[in-house]
Structures are given as C-alpha cells and as structure tokens.
Structure 1
Amino acid sequence: MIKIIIAAILGCICEYFALLQILDTPNWLIVTLLHALASLFYAFISYTLIPVKYKTTPFSSVLFLFLLLLSLPILGIIGVVFALSFALCKPIKNDDIEIEEHKIPALPFEAKMTSANPSYSIGGLKAILKHASEPNKRLSAVMSARHMSDARAIPILKLALKDLEDDIRLLAYSTLDGKETKINEKISQYQQEITLTSTQPELGKLQGQLAELYWELSYLGLAQGALKSYVLEKAELLALQSVEHVKAPATFVLLGRICLSLNKYPQALTHLTHATEFGMAQRHVLPYKAEVAFYMGLLDDCKRYLNELPKQPEGSELRHLQEYWHG
C-alpha cells in the first residue's frame, strides 16, 4: 500500500510540473516526459489494484495501461485509474435478471436406435431419401444404411450426398469415407506384406487377396471414371500373377468378373471355364457365363446357361431372369 501511495504522489508531482510548464513558456519535450512518467506511475498503481485473475500477462497489461493513460489529458489519468480499478474489483451484479430454463430439444443429428436387421429394403430407403419432406426421416434412412452390407448401403449413401440438409450429407460422406479408408488401409497392409514375401505359394495368395480389394473398390462404386479403370487393371494384373502359382477357383471367378467389367468378354469366358475346371461349382459360375454370352451376342448360349442353373429362390433377380428367358 505504501508503494501505491508513493507512486501516486510522484505521479501527481510529475503532472503538477507538467501543468506548470504548459501555463508558463512550454517546453513540450519536458511536458511529454513528465506526463509519460506520471502515466508510468499510474499504470503501476492500476495494475496493482486490479484483481489477480486479470494479471495473466503482466508486461502486456502494464503496457496497455501505460499507453491508455499516456493518451489522456492530465486530470483524466486519475479518473481512469479509479474507474478501471473500481469496475474490475466491484462488477455490477445482475441479480434482477430472470433466467428462464428450457428443456434440451431432441436434435435431428442425434444417433437413434436402429435394428441390426433393418425392416426397410434398399428401395424403401431410397424412396425415403428422395421423397420424405422431414429431415429426421431421411437421417434415419442414412442411419439404417450403416447397418447394411456395403454393396447395398453405398448406393443409398451416394444418394444421400445430394440431400439439401448439411447433417445428412455430412453423415453420408463420413460413412462412405470410412468404408473407403478401411479398404485402402488393407491395400496398404497387403502391399507391405508382398514386398516382404518372395516365396510361393504365400506370395500368390497375397496377390490374390490384394486383387480382391482392388476389385471391391470398383464393385462397391468407390472408384469411378479413370480411377475405376486403373483399379480394375491393377486387380486383373495381380489376379493373373496369383493364378500362375495358386490355381484357386475363386481367383478365376474374380478374373472373369474383372474382365467382364473391362469388356474383355472372350478372356472372361476363358477364366470362368477354368474356374469350373479347378473345382468351382457350376451354380457360382453360370450367371456370369450367361452375362458374358449376352454381351457377346450369343443368346442361345445365354439361355442355355440360365437353363442349366438350378431354380433360384422366389423374388430373386436370377429367378426373374430365368422366368424371362424361358417364358
């Protein structure tokens, strides 16, 4: 407290002599220096009087106070010191303000409980996303798609990317990005394992598994345009390298599907034939053979392949194809 009193007295003396200089023949350099000294003393006083919680940055605080006081007239210094110190030490209490409490509303982006086996079909969810006027319903459709297989969920999520609501678009994008990230992480893992493996058949198996991951990027629609062509060609190359050492029937089926997507129909038919020769059941190969024959214009072969296929369950796409081709 003694330091504050001394600083106040010294500040007043400096201001007094500065005032005398102004009233007499003024020497503005001396006036400025005296006023600066007074401002420095009162900056110290102001910083000392303010509460401790405001003293987090001593240098910046004192500098601010000094510049503030320096820019004020002579008598304004005392007013600022008392006003600033009193305002910070004795803030006005808002006891008369009435606070009205409100219940927390149910926000539309809250996660909802959904069944592991959603009752909506893929067509029903698409209809909701296209025609439902309430954002909550469309959001529920996206949440339901998260519990479906990737092949069924991704078309729904891509449709949700066109929604007008930000929350729905962001949820769909984050879900799609998560699926793609998982596949890319597996691809990176298999690539590292391949570089460390040189013996067969381990290398061939790894190449086959990596080919399946590249194929999955295309099949799920996560790769489009030039990227789709690249991942398909990469998958074809890896699968061909794999079957040189590991004659896995599933890899030949994969090669057939890849060539079918690349419009390499004769090669696709050859690979599918090899798949049955190495033990793949006909029922897993005949649908793809029928598709290849259709694109090649071999309609009789297409009909024959579908006829050789066992009767499919009611309502399935293959059952509809069988009924169409056999009247």
Structure 2
Amino acid sequence: MIRIVIAVIVGFICEYFALIETLDTPNWLIAILLHAIASMLFTFVSYIVIPAKYKSTLFGALLLLFSLLFTLPLFGILGVMFALTFALCKPLKNNDIEIQEHKIPGLPFEVRSISANPTYSMGGLKAILKYASEPNKRLSAVMAARHMSDTQAIPILKLALKDLEDDIRLLAYSTLDAKETKLNEKIGLYQQEILLTTQQPKLSNLQQQLAEIYWELSYLGLAQGALREYVLKKAETLSLQSIEYVQKPATFVFLGRLCLALGKYELALSHLAQATDLGMARRHVLPYKAEVAFCMNKFDDCKRYLKELPEQPKGSELRHLQEYWNA
C-alpha cells in the first residue's frame, strides 16, 4: 500500500513538472521523459489494483496500460486509471435477468410417449442406425428400440454401440447394461433361495427357473464367447439336477435346445425324444429335431421332420422353411 501511495505522489510530481515544461520555455524532451515516468508509475499502480483474472499476461497487460496512459495528458491519466480499474473491479450487474437452473438429465433418457402399436420394425431401425446421417434420427431409433421386446431390441442396441456419436453409444450401452444387470440380479436371488431350500419339488422348480435365466443370457446375446459356453453349461447342469426329482416334458425340450446350442447333437436328439415320450406334442419338438438334423448334415431327416410338422401360419418363419424344403 505504501508503494502505491509513493508511486501516485511521484507520478503527480513528474506530471506537474512536465506540464510546467510545456508552458514556460517548452523543452519537449524533458516533458516527454517526465510524462513517460509518470505513465510508468501509474501503470504500476493500475496493474496492482485490477483483479487477478485480468493479469494472465504480464507483458501484454502492462503494455496496454502504459499505451493508454502515455498517450493522454494529466487528467486523461486519472480518467483512464480510475475508469479502468473501477470498471474491472466493480462490473455492472443486471438484476433484471432471471436465471433458472435445470438439472442435467441422466442416462437413460426418457423418450416421448409412443403408441401401443408402433409403426417401426427391427429392420427399419437397423437401417436408420446404418444409413441415417443425422445423429438425432439414430438416437431416436435407439430410444424406440427400448420399447421393443428384448429379442428384437438387443441386436439393434449392439449395432448402436458401433456408432460414432458418444450420446448414441452411451444410451445403447446403458440400456444393454440395465437389461444384463436385471438378469444378474435375478440369478443372485435364485441362487440364494436355492441355498436355503431343501424341500422337493420346490428345489427342482427353482433350479429349472435359474437354468432358464442362464439360457436367456445366451439367447439374447448378452453372453458371448467363453461366457456364453459357461452359462449354457451352467443351465444344463441345473436342468439335469432338476429332472432328478421332477421330470417334465418341457424340461427335456429345454435340455434339447441347450445341447443343440452346445453342439451335443446326439444328446439333443435323445432329450427331444424323451420329451415326446413324456407327452410333449410333436409339433413342439419337430422344429428342434429338424435343426439338429441340419447341423448333423442329415438333410433327408431335416426335410422329413419339417414335412411331418403341421402346416404353419402364413408369414411365419417355420412356414417359409416348410415351403423351401418341400418345394
């Protein structure tokens, strides 16, 4: 503070003598030199007084202040110093502007209401994700997929994970993660309940329900590679434990599908045959037998199974298969 007062006093003295030199017998060299000294002193004072956020560049700030002060006479120096420092230290406030804060929405975003019978389809949404140039359209496709069944939505969400836009990838990932987390929570609950249950047939039913959740992880594509093989084997083990006490035809169909997915084709046929023996209708078993026969390169058996299958509704996938193999 003392240095500022001394600098102001010395600056005024220099500026006073500079003014005298211009009034009496003009000596412009001495007058300019005294005015330059006064300008440097007031530059020093102004730089100390202004807020710290305006002192990012020392040389640039000092040069600007000195240029303004040097090019002006005595009262100009005072006007610039007080106007500049006061304006920077006490900026005007406009209290008429009302600022309303809005919380940042978190993922997943809420979408607009969609009708009970949406017009979009799985193929249409995939086409939008692949070929639409506008990010908003691709984002809308991802949000629309959240209102579809898991079997239809998950391939679309996986495709969205490859999008170049961060928002689209994050929304797709959060949606997939939520689906997987929900299934994993169910697995944890069933595992705890199985540990606490010893009575039959409740234990067998719990084991079969847990096996079906493991199967769902694979069927929906949420488990890939080694993890997929692990969950399928886990489901097979639980189903085999389940049929030790309770033998249901549907459980043997389920085991047939598990063995088909694991590449155990002979065992798959055995389980499917056992399901038929226990009373399962052949129309529920023949499609899987045809698939097993196709994987074993037994195309005649595949054709025979599809021919034995009752005629399916028009437009269904099985109807297309029947028409292809019986053409």
TM-score by length of 2: 0.67
Task: Work out the percentage of aligned pairs sharing the same amino acid.
Answer: 72
> Offset at 1:233?
0.5
Cα distance in 2, alignment partners of residues 186 and 196 from structure 1: 16
1:8-23 residue pairs with structure 2 within 5 A? none
1:38-53 residue pairs with structure 2 within 5 A? none
Counterpart check, 1:94 vs 2:93: yes
Aligned to 2:183: 183
Residue type of the partner of 1:292? V
Aligned to 1:5: none
1:43-122 residue pairs with structure 2 within 5 A? 91-95=90-94, 111-122=111-122
Aligned to 2:172: 172
> Offset at 1:110?
6.5
Count of residues paired in the alignment: 236
Cα distance in 2, alignment partners of residues 207 and 318 from structure 1: 31
Q: Cα–Cα, structure 1 residues 133 and 91, in superposed 2: closer, same or farther, change >3 Å?
A: same
> Offset at 1:274?
1.3
Residue type of the partner of 1:208? Q
> Offset at 1:112?
2.4
Cα distance in 2, alignment partners of residues 110 and 262 from structure 1: 39
Preserved contact between residue 269 and residue 289 of structure 1 (Cα < 8 Å):
yes
- Give the aligned CA root-mean-square deviation in angstroms: 2.7
> Offset at 1:136?
1.5
Cα distance in 1, alignment partners of residues 262 and 278 from structure 2: 24
Aligned to 2:195: 195
Cα distance in 2, alignment partners of residues 121 and 270 from structure 1: 38
Aligned to 2:266: 266
Q: Which runs of 5+ in 2 are unaligned?
A: 3-81
1:218-229 residue pairs with structure 2 within 5 A? 218-229=218-229
> Offset at 1:283?
1.6
TM-score by length of 1: 0.67
Residue type of the partner of 2:255? L
Aligned to 1:325: 325
> Offset at 1:91?
4.1
Any runs of at least 4 consecutive aligned residues in structure 1 with deviations exceeding 3 A, and if so which? 97-101
Aligned to 1:128: 128
Aligned to 1:246: 246
Q: Cα–Cα, structure 1 residues 116 and 142, in superposed 2: closer, same or farther, change >3 Å?
A: farther
Aligned to 2:298: 298
Preserved contact between residue 215 and residue 235 of structure 1 (Cα < 8 Å):
yes
Aligned to 2:211: 211
Aligned to 1:286: 286
Q: Which runs of 5+ in 1 are unaligned?
A: 1-11, 13-82
Q: Cα–Cα, structure 1 residues 110 and 207, in superposed 2: closer, same or farther, change >3 Å?
A: closer
Cα distance in 1, alignment partners of residues 282 and 248 from structure 2: 15
Aligned to 1:73: none
Cα distance in 2, alignment partners of residues 118 and 131 from structure 1: 21
Cα distance in 1, alignment partners of residues 287 and 269 from structure 2: 11
Q: Cα–Cα, structure 1 residues 92 and 139, in superposed 2: closer, same or farther, change >3 Å?
A: closer
Q: Cα–Cα, structure 1 residues 92 and 294, in superposed 2: closer, same or farther, change >3 Å?
A: closer
Preserved contact between residue 118 and residue 147 of structure 1 (Cα < 8 Å):
no
Cα distance in 2, alignment partners of residues 114 and 166 from structure 1: 24
Preserved contact between residue 116 and residue 147 of structure 1 (Cα < 8 Å):
no
